[in-house]
Amino acid sequence: MRPTAADTLKSSRKPPRSVLVALFGALVPLLAALTLMAPPATARTEAVPAATLTEVTGFGANPSNLQMYVYVPAAVTAHPAIVVAVHYCGGSGPAMYSGTEYASLADQLGFIVVYPSVTRASKCFDVSSPQALRRNGGSDPVGIKSMVDWVTSAYAADTSRVYALGISSGAMMTNVLLGDYPDVFAAGAAFAGVPFGCFATTDGSEWNTACANGTVIQTPQQWGDLVRGADPGYTGPRPRMQLWHGTADDTLRYPNFGEEIKQWTNVLGVGQTPAATDSPATGWTRTRYGATGDQAPVEAISLQGAGHNLYTYGMGARVLTFFGLTGGGTTPPPTTGPCKVTVTTSAWNTGLTASVTITNTGSSPVNGWQLGFTLPTGQTVTNGWGATYAPVSGAVTATNASYDGTIAPNASVTIGYQANHTGNSAAPTAYTLNGTACTVG
């Protein structure tokens, strides 16, 4: 073929061979230097800022317009576990972040926390529609699954260590997630929830009164079939379940606790007779099904006298022990020596103030404390001093402030709170300090 003018031009611009050799010789040391300066190929660019609650958008399929918040600790482990923490009705992802201890536990243990957040007016998760109660059905569970997938991709997370936990509406969603996606979640923990499918409706309503009142009673097989029907082609292993419920719950009544036990023992193929029964804290009855250890297939904790707002500081570490993220070595909080609590109250029409004095009657100092007590029904803390109070009704935990966390032997600290009441202005009758019962009087 005859050369074109362009070929002739290209040929005329080729440098002599000697120039190419010299140029190559100069480039070799420069390339070597740049190679030494470059980051290793395995270095990971962080997807979100570390140790900061961050909203992530565009995380994948999200048919119900959930928001995604994520917390990645500064010392996140390689191939981290994922914990999905699901909020209660009226709550949000940021509220779940600030009101529970999972971010601080993530700082200690290196896992990543996902906080889904509802945008619909009720601020409740969809646990009742037909779409929510089947795999990839097109509601909230799909969005939460996308959040897990996003974290898995961004941080090379360990897909065998994905867990869900929730409070109230979040507890119901935990049941739903484990039913819809048994191949995704290894275990769950539900605080004051109901069985999978119990809240089902067909008229678009988010609320199921019969279920809430504890009047939906089924056989274990019937409950189990509802879970299996959410993903009918699935034949693999099922996630373990931890259940928590207060005997005085007047929102999602206590019979739901027994129905959840029936459901998950059936799903996991274990007997309904407990393999072990104990009382890990005052007023608690813990039953384990299918095994006796910390990672039994089903673990159920009943809290005597506790209402719907049963979640307190310290329960999170027990959850992580059940998940297997603590190696069985972390249970909150450490026990302390003898203690005494004296309380005085002053009440008016719909309000009261309480002054609480905590005395260390032991021989060793108390360094860091949580005072546990249960408010009478109808009382709600509106503000407090000397401690932080959470939740604000039911079984409350008061955690020391930065300036009064140490109580020397025979020394005291005084804290207090203001509360609303609906007629009963009495003081709590029992207190625990770091899990140890105190003398009252």
Question: Using CA atoms, how far apart are residues 264 and 276, in angstroms rounded to an integer?
Answer: 16
Question: Using CA atoms, how far apart are residues 352 and 322, in angstroms rounded to an integer?
Answer: 39
Helix (H) or strand (E) holding 360: strand 351-360
Distances 206 to 137, 203, 310, 325 between C-alpha atoms, Å: 16, 9, 23, 34
Q: What's 15's DSSP letter?
A: P
Contacts of 238 (CB under 8 A, 6+ apart): 178, 182, 267, 268
Q: Are 50 and 72 in contact (CB under 8 A)?
A: yes
Q: Where are the beta strands (DSSP E) in 57-141?
A: 67-71, 82-86, 112-117
Helix (H) or strand (E) holding 387: strand 387-390
Question: Using CA atoms, how far apart are residues 170 and 335, in angstroms rounded to an integer?
Answer: 30
Four-point Cα dihedral 42, 46, 47, 50, nearest 10: 150
Backbone angles phi, psi at 414, to 5 degrees: -120, 130
Question: Using CA atoms, how far apart are residues 175 and 144, in angstroms rounded to an integer?
Answer: 13
Which positions are catalytic? Answer: 168
Cβ neighbours around 111 below 10 Å, total: 26
Structure tokens at 314: 């310290």
- Whether a cis peptide bond, with omega within 30° of 0, leads into 391 is yes
Residue tagged 């007047």 (tokens): 250
Residue tagged 């576990």 (tokens): 81
Backbone angles phi, psi at 330, to 5 degrees: -125, 115
